[in-house]
Amino acid sequence: MSGETIIPVILCGGAGTRLWPLSRRARPKQMLDLVGGGSMLALTAARVADAELFAAPLVVAAADQAEAVEAELPGLGMLILEPAARNTAPAIALAALTAEAEALLLVLPSDHLIGDPAALTEAIRRAAPAARAGWIVTFGMKAERAETGYGYVQRGAALGAGVHEALRFVEKPDAAAAAFYVADGGYDWNGGIFLMAAGTYLDALARHAPDILKAAEAAMAGARRDGARVHPDAAAFRASPAQAIDYAVMEKSDKVAVAPVAAGWSDIGSFDALYDVSGKDGDGNVVVGPGLAIDARGCLIRSEGPLVAAIGVEDLVVVATADAVLVVPRAASQRVKEAVERLQKEGKDSWL
Amino acid sequence: MSGETIIPVILCGGAGTRLWPLSRRARPKQMLDLVGGGSMLALTAARVADAELFAAPLVVAAADQAEAVEAELPGLGMLILEPAARNTAPAIALAALTAEAEALLLVLPSDHLIGDPAALTEAIRRAAPAARAGWIVTFGMKAERAETGYGYVQRGAALGAGVHEALRFVEKPDAAAAAFYVADGGYDWNGGIFLMAAGTYLDALARHAPDILKAAEAAMAGARRDGARVHPDAAAFRASPAQAIDYAVMEKSDKVAVAPVAAGWSDIGSFDALYDVSGKDGDGNVVVGPGLAIDARGCLIRSEGPLVAAIGVEDLVVVATADAVLVVPRAASQRVKEAVERLQKEGKDSWL
């Protein structure tokens, strides 16, 4: 590592509704303790706590999450507060503009699970030389099943130990393609964790998404600082296109690499995914909070308050908060969004 | 009616758990508004509000329900507060001891539904002569299906217009017997509504259940009165056997009659029964309180507070209160008792 540390850039702007009613506007998924041991954000920061390898984390978050982030991360280095949500490419640009061009940035979603953090750390160490050599490295998570909801990245020629050129990206393939990728063995899930030099990223933006770079530069030029908090200029940042780094940069750049790793990754993008990564009782039930599972099998029963009694049901999600209850078959748990859409349409904001 | 009114005796001592978590120790089923328009108790009293036919109601209730009963029934005549639960035969005895021997008592459960109160009123008018002639009349509710959870009464020879001698009682028959009773047409459900002279009842107790009569007499002899409230002597009443009127009197007396009536009766003894008597949307869902039924069919969704979103489920009961949520297939809704038993066993009294 040449004695230089990596700056973790934790992206905390997500406002996911896929875990409604647990996740809410005021309490997005990264603030939830989903697997025990702390919020997803706190667990993310804990993975990059080794001061030999990592600098204090830089967090990019929505402005209304400032207090919540600071409460979760006492060791925060810098907190960039997005005046508006513009997806990941502009958010990372704000962070990159605060660093030296040679500094390595490790971009981390704040709401994903890494079951084996040590494996990820090793992969980061292996990938660092490629990143210093100007490659944008994505970490290829071992594809464990033919999941159609994820992005895939195909490995090409080896660039070094455990780092390959990325041949192509495929976002949310159909079932047949996903099955082929898993059977083929040459594809990984694109886990949304990236390692690159700040200058590499800004150069790629200049070439492939200049409007994003321009908006981010103007926003940071007009930024107001307040301790660790950075408030980019709102009007300037709002002018940025909203694009994911995957589309804006990864799929277009020439020097994109993939570092495969079996890190027990999950984006916990649905209650079914949460069920998969949670400990189960002898009947295959996950019960968190006050719950009674009577002759129930394969259920996710989770409550933040009311006692939930589930009797004689199978493969069902029952999630209760103080003000809302969700009941949906586990296999249909992505349909939560239909409830959220209905609430939005009916203006029932207190439940969002 | 010979100018004399009938005294409604409303039995309000039930502490049913079959509608948990709606029904609770502190708020038994008769205090719930299950079908709209008021509590089951208030609806019961409204059925006997015709002052031409009925005196002000006499209510027998558990002592801890005194305030709740008075709040529901401003027109209450007398409120007898049971020092302990001893089932219906002793409760009716307390009421009968306050009346003239010739007075007719109409005994009514406080937590049953009568869809057609006018039909019941007509049946009461038809049955009054038999009651005055010394018969204990039960109202035979039209048996609409081969229900195994109810009691049946077989009609014998006619005693007058719409009143028959009761040949025999069968409590909770097996499925084959229940199917036979319905097909036969000569059987009714025993709805637990009785009409008889106070003296007739006390005579029957003296003959068939003298211990009950003795305990009730002693309890009323030592009763303390406080406005409309009557507090029978606790020690004396506790000495009574706990027996239902059906066992103590109806199955043993010689002069028992049945007055058949199609009154749209239901004991609402389960959430499935509540579903049956409730209005449904186009998908066969009953939604009461804040609820979203999305691609759901045949569900009972009922909430007293939290928003309940049910997505892609069928024939399911989802009932939420501020502190508890029940999820059970409609066809298994009687299994609620297993949750209640578990809570009792685990000492979780706050949820009972």
How many Å apart are CA A60 and CA A99, to the nearest integer?
Answer: 14
CA distance B32 to chain A (A): 20
Question: Residue A321 and residue B306: Cβ atoms within 8 Å?
Answer: yes
List the single best residue of A295, A307, A333 to mutate versus B (max B Cβ within 10 A): A307
Would you call A303 an interface residue with chain B, using a CB distance cutoff of 8 Å? yes
Would you call B345 an interface residue with chain A, using a CB distance cutoff of 8 Å? no
Please state the domain extents for chain A: 7-266, 271-351
Would you call A103 an interface residue with chain B, using a CB distance cutoff of 8 Å? no
Angle of CA points A90, A94, A100, to nearest 5° = 130
Which tens digit of pLDDT belongs to each residue from A67-86? 999 999 998 999 999 999 99
How much is the pLDDT for B1?
Answer: 39
How much is the pLDDT for A100?
Answer: 97
Angle of CA points B222, B224, B228, to nearest 5° = 135
CA distance B305 to chain A (A): 7
CA distance A335 to chain B (A): 7
How much is the pLDDT for A16?
Answer: 73
Search chain B and give the residue with CA nearest A327.
B310
How many Å apart are CA A20 and CA A319, to the nearest integer?
Answer: 9
ω into B21 cis (within 30 of 0): yes
How much is the pLDDT for B259?
Answer: 98
Provide the CA B92 distance to its chain's centre, in angstroms. 13
Write the secondary structure of chain B as one string of H (helix), E (strand) and C (coil).
CCCCCEEEEEEECCCCCCCCCCCECCECHHHCCCCCCCCHHHHHHHCCCCCCCECCCEEEEEHHHHHHHHHHCCCCCEEEEECCCCCHHHHHHHHHCCCCCCCEEEEEECCCEECCHHHHHHHHHHHHHHHHCCCEEEEEEECCCCCCCCEEEEEEEEEECCEEEEEEEEECCCHHHHHHHHHHCCEEEEEEEEEEEHHHHHHHHHHHCHHHHHHHHHHHHCCEEECCEEECCHHHHHCCCCCCHHHHHHCCCCCEEEEEECCCEECCCCHHHHHHHCCCCCCCCEEECCEEEECCECCEEEECCCEEEEECCECEEEEECCCEEEEEEHHHHHHHHHHHHHHHHCCCHHHC
How much is the pLDDT for A15?
Answer: 76
Question: Residue B309 and residue A292: Cβ atoms within 8 Å?
Answer: no
CA distance B83 to chain A (A): 32
How much is the pLDDT for A318?
Answer: 98
Q: Give the confidence band of B160 by pLDDT, cuts at 50, 70, 90.
A: very high
How many Å apart are CA B342 and CA B172, to the nearest integer?
Answer: 25
Q: Is the pLDDT reported for residue B3 higher than 70?
A: no
A7-266 carries CATH number 3.60.110.10: no
Q: Which residues in chain A have Cβ-Cβ distances shorter than 8 Å to B351?
A: 307
Which tens digit of pLDDT belongs to each residue from B266-279? 999 999 999 999 99
Q: What rounded mean pLDDT belongs to chain B?
A: 96
How much is the pLDDT for A145?
Answer: 92
Question: Residue B327 and residue A316: Cβ atoms within 8 Å?
Answer: yes
| Helix or strand run (H / E) with residue A299 | none
The number of helices, as runs of H, and strands, as runs of E, in chain A is 11, 19
Token pair belonging to A62: 């929505």
Q: Smallest Cβ distance to B306: which of A316, A324, A335?
A: A324
pTM for the full model?
0.92
CA distance A328 to chain B (A): 5
Search chain A and give the residue with CA nearest B331.
A312
Q: Are A8 and A106 in contact (CB under 8 A)?
A: yes
Token pair belonging to B328: 């059970």
Q: Which residues in chain B have Cβ-Cβ distances shorter than 8 Å to A22?
A: none
3-state secondary structure of A282: coil
Nearest alpha-carbon partner for A60 in A100, A94, A103, A16: A94
Task: Say what the ipTM of the complex is.
Answer: 0.91
CA distance A336 to chain B (A): 8
Q: Give the confidence band of B77 by pLDDT, cuts at 50, 70, 90.
A: very high
Q: Give the confidence band of B14 by pLDDT, cuts at 50, 70, 90.
A: confident
Q: Are B232 and B94 in contact (CB under 8 A)?
A: yes
- What DSSP string runs through A131-167? HHTT-EEEEEEE--S--SSSEEEEEEEEEETTEEEEE
Q: Is the pLDDT reported for residue B2 higher than 70?
A: no
Q: Which residues in chain A have Cβ-Cβ distances shorter than 8 Å to B324?
A: 306-309
- List the single range of B4-18, B53-67, B321-335 with lowest mean pLDDT: B4-18
Would you call B351 an interface residue with chain A, using a CB distance cutoff of 8 Å? yes
Q: What rounded mean pLDDT belongs to chain A?
A: 96
* DSSP state for residue A54 in the 8-state scheme: B
Q: Smallest Cβ distance to A338: which of B308, B311, B332?
A: B311
| Helix or strand run (H / E) with residue A217 | helix A210-221
How much is the pLDDT for A14?
Answer: 80
Residues of chain A with pLDDT under 70: 1-3
Q: Smallest Cβ distance to B325: which of A306, A335, A342?
A: A306
Which tens digit of pLDDT belongs to each residue from B222-246? 999 999 999 999 999 999 999 999 9
Which tens digit of pLDDT belongs to each residue from B183-211? 999 999 999 999 999 999 999 999 999 99
- List the single range of A70-79, A152-161, B15-24, B287-296 with lowest mean pLDDT: B15-24
Token pair belonging to A266: 């999950």
How many Å apart are CA A171 and CA B239, to the nearest integer?
Answer: 77
**Phi, psi for residue B237 in degrees, rounded to 5:** -70, -35
Q: Which residues in chain B have Cβ-Cβ distances shorter than 8 Å to A294?
A: 335, 338-339, 342
Nearest alpha-carbon partner for A93 in A249, A225, A224: A249
How much is the pLDDT for A176?
Answer: 96
Q: Is the pLDDT reported for residue B58 higher than 80?
A: yes
Of all residues in chain B, the percent with pLDDT exceeding 70 is 99
How much is the pLDDT for A9?
Answer: 98
| Cβ pairs bridging A and B (under 8 Å) | 118
